[in-house]
A and B are shown apart, each in its own frame.
Chain A
Amino acid sequence: MSFNDKLVTIQGLSVEFYTEEGIARVVQDVSFNIERGQCYALVGESGCGKSVTALSIMRLIPDPPGRVTAGTVYFNGRDIYKLSEKQMRRIRGKEVSMIFQEPMTSLNPVYTVGDQVVEAIMLHQKKSYDQAWVDAAEMLRKVGIADPEQRAGEYPHQMSGGMRQRVMIAMAMSCRPDLLIADEPTTALDVTTQAQILDLLDSVKDQTNTSILLITHDLGVVAERADKVAVMYASRIVEKADSDDLFAEPLHPYTRGLLDSLPKLSQRPKRLVTIPGMVPEPLSFPSGCKFHPRCPLGSDDER
């Protein structure tokens, strides 16, 4: 396989966490590819392993207690688990960067936002502080912050949630990475702000040909923004398809259940369709098909 069109190739990835109560297999046998300029969505409910999968691309799984026990992650043609920590540091922030769900806790409260963007720039580019400051202001302008020179001198607490998320995106995009990992980037935001931030991510993607790995639980966001989708449930990918195909014809009963259980505008059913039971805990995943205890089609073979 050539790696020219594939930016990220993940093959058979498994991640385990060693806890006092036992071994939690939070990611099992996950494989997918992200092409350049593509928006790839990982969808699933809490605890399904989607964030851990993303962290393993950055090689940020805390070890111990976590460990990647199997599989390979190729990024730009390199097996990142064969790189030294020093090489890895050069990739993080420069070739792959990440934005998080809660922009308040991921920004440093005691530095101005300008300084935080400058830090990302100076770490990876040979630039003086003054040059980096100019670049930072330009980056802030690009993400839609009015009056960037002045606002760069403000602290995170002076900004609203949407503004902080824009700063995070400016920081993440300041070195023009090949891949931007967005972990629930709009979950903490209001719907109108969410639409603004998603539009911004779209335009950033189109301008710089950056690929986006979008991690979310919101199927509506996926349907509107992603090119490809992988649905995760209890540590495994259960369905993987082009976004339009998945929503036109979901094949896995879990995907179908999720779609059916969403209340939709302009339909007023008497009751909502539900998936019975609960999302299983990683320490007590069921045997066989992980979805069988909740599946309407479950039979004895699947246990």
Chain B
Amino acid sequence: MKENTAKTTNGYLLSVDRLRTYFPVKRGLLRRTVGHIKAVDDISFAIEPGKTLGLVGESGCGKTTAARTIVRLVPATSGKISFEGVDVLAAKGQQLKGLRRDISIIFQDPYGSLNPRMTIGNIVGEAIKVHKGIRGSELIDRIDMLLEKVGLGGSYRNRYPHEFSGGQRQRIGVARALALDPKLVICDEPVSALDVSIQSQILNLLKDLQGEFGLTYLFIAHDLAVVEFFCDEVAVMYLGHIVEKACAEELYRNPLHPYTRTLMSAIPQVELKRRQQRIGLVGEVPSPSNVPAGCPFHPRCSLCDERCMQESPALNEVSKGDGHFVSCWKQDEFSD
């Protein structure tokens, strides 16, 4: 990825530029706005067609809000999102309808994201009817084809969501997301609610579909091992900011932000040789309504000094052209 604050859509399918999403905090009888929850605060990234960008972070870091802003489920406060040259935040009418066709989303909770009163066929076929006006046997053929693709088979078409297990429901969610031949699929924690033996099946399915249809993924997860397997590029978020961004191999080989290093060391590993090098982390994630001054990570950082408490570091490229960006005053401490 190149410096993406500069130009948009130069070879990118989606580019997000200095995006901010704030939620107002209202208090009192007159519901005056007394402050803002800065869920997403000045983030920029871009995805090339056919690639996968991973957005990683702990709960409350803003990764899901970022995704919801991109699909226009949440209004942005400022910034720019462009998708194939279309300004996503300004789109309306036919243009917005086109975007809804080209960008789809897979949700985390396979139990909450399927309407229990609709059959699987209706769930998958609803968008096809609305957007393409296909009806009758042609619609049924398309639904069967989609269910086939996700490993379910058309015979399930007339069943209801409660008849399926978590893994199967997530497959239905994938079929629904693919119904309109989207270009970009946003996967919001698609496997974190699933059993271990089912997780790998869904991840393989998503990878196969990417190869078959040339899909581009924005993959949101908190599990760094899953992200490393699945993504070409990874951006690590903390308190609404991207603190580090690099191609997956580089990030895992040479993590430079202290938060990234902590996250990686916190993953419990089954291999004996990888254990016992945990970096402890004090305290908890501060509330996004009251972000600390200076570097957002400084109250929990072991390297913190005066400067970190006062000035917020920018996201800078480590050395020119290597695509590894980090937002830390102390990045040299870890460079190899």
| Measured CA separation A244–B280 after assembly (Å) | 24
B196 within 8 A of A: yes
Neighbour of B270 across the interface among A193, A264, A266, CB < 8 A: A264
| Given A217-B196, A247-B272, A194:B284 Cβ within 8 A | no
| Given A258-B197, A279-B197, A274:B204 Cβ within 8 A | yes
Neighbour of B59 across the interface among A190, A263, A273, CB < 8 A: A190
B248 within 8 A of A: yes
Tell whether, in the assembled complex, residue A264 and residue B196 are in contact, meaning their CB atoms are under 8 Å apart. no
Tell whether, in the assembled complex, residue B224 and residue A265 are in contact, meaning their CB atoms are under 8 Å apart. yes
A221 within 8 A of B: yes
Name the CB-closest residue of B to A159.
B284
Neighbour of B229 across the interface among A160, A199, A272, CB < 8 A: A272
- Shortest A55–chain B CB gap in Å is 20
Q: Which residues A243-284 have CB closer than 8 A to chain B?
A: 244, 247-248, 257-259, 261-266, 268-269, 271-276, 278-279, 281
- Taking CB atoms, residues of chain A closer than 8 Å to B269 are 220, 223-224, 264-265
Neighbour of B203 across the interface among A163, A265, A272, A278, CB < 8 A: A272
Q: Most B CB atoms within 10 A — which of A160, A247, A261?
A: A261
B149 within 8 A of A: no
- Taking CB atoms, residues of chain A closer than 8 Å to B225 are 262-265
Tell whether, in the assembled complex, residue B201 and residue A195 are in contact, meaning their CB atoms are under 8 Å apart. no
Tell whether, in the assembled complex, residue B222 and residue A279 are in contact, meaning their CB atoms are under 8 Å apart. no
- Shortest A270–chain B CB gap in Å is 8
Name the CB-closest residue of B to A219.
B270
B309 within 8 A of A: no
Tell whether, in the assembled complex, residue A247 and residue B270 are in contact, meaning their CB atoms are under 8 Å apart. yes
Tell whether, in the assembled complex, residue A261 and residue B271 are in contact, meaning their CB atoms are under 8 Å apart. no
A192 within 8 A of B: yes
Neighbour of B196 across the interface among A261, A268, A276, CB < 8 A: A261
- Taking CB atoms, residues of chain B closer than 8 Å to A248 are 272
Neighbour of B252 across the interface among A190, A194, A265, CB < 8 A: A265
| Given A162-B284, A258-B196, A264:B271 Cβ within 8 A | yes
Name the CB-closest residue of A to B267.
A191
Tell whether, in the assembled complex, residue A268 and residue B249 are in contact, meaning their CB atoms are under 8 Å apart. yes
| Given A192-B281, A279-B198, A262:B263 Cβ within 8 A | no
Tell whether, in the assembled complex, residue B272 and residue A221 are in contact, meaning their CB atoms are under 8 Å apart. no
- Taking CB atoms, residues of chain B closer than 8 Å to A112 are none
| Given A265-B228, A272-B229, A195:B200 Cβ within 8 A | no
Q: Which residues A171-209 have CB closer than 8 A to chain B?
A: 190-196, 198-199
B316 within 8 A of A: no
Neighbour of A265 across the interface among B197, B267, B281, CB < 8 A: B267
| Given A274-B204, A279-B165, A221:B197 Cβ within 8 A | no
- Taking CB atoms, residues of chain A closer than 8 Å to B129 are none
Question: Would you give the 0/1 interface string for B205-232, flagging 1 where the beta carbon is closer than 8 Å to chain A?
Answer: 0010000000000000011111011100
Q: Which residues B244-279 have CB closer than 8 A to chain A?
A: 248-249, 252-253, 262-264, 266-272, 274-275, 278
Tell whether, in the assembled complex, residue B270 and residue A194 are in contact, meaning their CB atoms are under 8 Å apart. no
Tell whether, in the assembled complex, residue B195 and residue A45 are in contact, meaning their CB atoms are under 8 Å apart. yes
Tell whether, in the assembled complex, residue A278 and residue B284 are in contact, meaning their CB atoms are under 8 Å apart. no
| Measured CA separation A221–B267 after assembly (Å) | 9
| Measured CA separation A275–B249 after assembly (Å) | 27
Q: Most B CB atoms within 10 A — which of A196, A261, A263, A274?
A: A263
A218 within 8 A of B: yes
Name the CB-closest residue of A to B275.
A224
| Given A266-B252, A273-B200, A279:B195 Cβ within 8 A | yes
A131 within 8 A of B: no
Tell whether, in the assembled complex, residue A45 and residue B270 are in contact, meaning their CB atoms are under 8 Å apart. no
Name the CB-closest residue of A to B300.
A192
| Given A190-B58, A274-B204, A259:B270 Cβ within 8 A | yes
Tell whether, in the assembled complex, residue B197 and residue A190 are in contact, meaning their CB atoms are under 8 Å apart. no
| Measured CA separation A264–B275 after assembly (Å) | 13
Name the CB-closest residue of A to B252.
A266
A46 within 8 A of B: yes
Q: Which residues B263-312 have CB closer than 8 A to chain A?
A: 263-264, 266-272, 274-275, 278, 280-281, 284-285
Name the CB-closest residue of B to A272.
B200
| Given A46-B195, A265-B225, A223:B58 Cβ within 8 A | no
Question: Would you give the 0/1 interface string for A218-234, flagging 1 where the beta carbon is closer than 8 Å to chain B?
Answer: 11110110000000000
Name the CB-closest residue of A to B60.
A190
Tell whether, in the assembled complex, residue A191 and residue B284 are in contact, meaning their CB atoms are under 8 Å apart. no
| Measured CA separation A274–B167 after assembly (Å) | 13
Neighbour of A218 across the interface among B207, B263, B268, B284, CB < 8 A: B268
Name the CB-closest residue of B to A160.
B284
Tell whether, in the assembled complex, residue B197 and residue A274 are in contact, meaning their CB atoms are under 8 Å apart. yes
B168 within 8 A of A: yes
B199 within 8 A of A: yes
Name the CB-closest residue of B to A254.
B197
Tell whether, in the assembled complex, residue B275 and residue A191 are in contact, meaning their CB atoms are under 8 Å apart. no
7 A–B contacts from the bound complex (CB under 8 Å): A191-B224, A194-B268, A219-B196, A220-B270, A264-B271, A268-B228, A275-B197
If A258-B197, A263-B229 are given as contacts, then 14 extra A-B residue pairs at C-beta distance below 8 Å, sorted by A number, are A45-B196, A162-B284, A191-B58, A191-B223, A195-B281, A217-B196, A219-B270, A220-B269, A223-B269, A244-B272, A263-B223, A265-B228, A265-B252, A278-B168
Chain B contacts to A: CB under 8 angstroms: 58-59, 165-168, 195-201, 203-204, 207, 222-226, 228-230, 248-249, 252-253, 262-264, 266-272, 274-275, 278, 280-281, 284-285
Chain A contacts to B: CB under 8 angstroms: 45-46, 160, 162-163, 190-196, 198-199, 217-221, 223-224, 244, 247-248, 257-259, 261-266, 268-269, 271-276, 278-279, 281
